[in-house]
Copies of this chain bind each other. A is one copy, B any other.
Amino acid sequence: MRALEGDQVCMRIFISEGDKVDKKPLYKELLNLLRKEEIAGATVLRGMAGFGAKSHLHTAGLLALSQDLPILIEAVDTQEHLDRVLPKIDAMVGEGLITLEKVHVLRYAPKK
């Protein structure tokens, strides 16, 4: 358990569920990377519709079984820690959007 309280960064990666890297699902590989690199935490959210750089509309509903819904991965850590991991992330992500935003961490710890 590390201390993380104070001004940190939230990285957000917007990709598609069908994206692959080395024939494996990209979002799983990114999650494995973030854990291996000991990023403080990460959450993978699946969208029900959306579009991205290629302006292709992903949608659930009739296409609910589609494997190309949008995926949003959120991870919070220090700028320095994220900077060390970002080149590896960038090398894995093909089409996609990666954003960084400032957040203030109030709590990152288990209860005593």
Which A residues are within 8 Å of any B CB, using their own CB?
1, 4, 8, 10, 12, 14, 27-28, 31, 34-35, 38, 40-55, 57, 70, 72, 74, 76, 86, 90, 93-111
Which residue of the partner chain, among B41, B51, B55, B110, contacts A51 with CB atoms under 8 Å?
Answer: B41
Q: Return chain B residues, CB-CB under 8 Å to A86.
A: 106
Please indicate the chain B residues that have their CB under 8 angstroms from the CB of A44 in the complex.
47-50, 70
Q: How far is the CB of A64 from chain B (nearest CB, A)?
A: 12
A72 / chain B contacts, CB cutoff of 8 Å: 43, 45, 74
Q: How many copies does the complex hold?
A: 3
Chain B: CB-nearest residue to A50 = B43
Contact of A103 among B42, B70, B95, B100 (CB under 8 A): B100
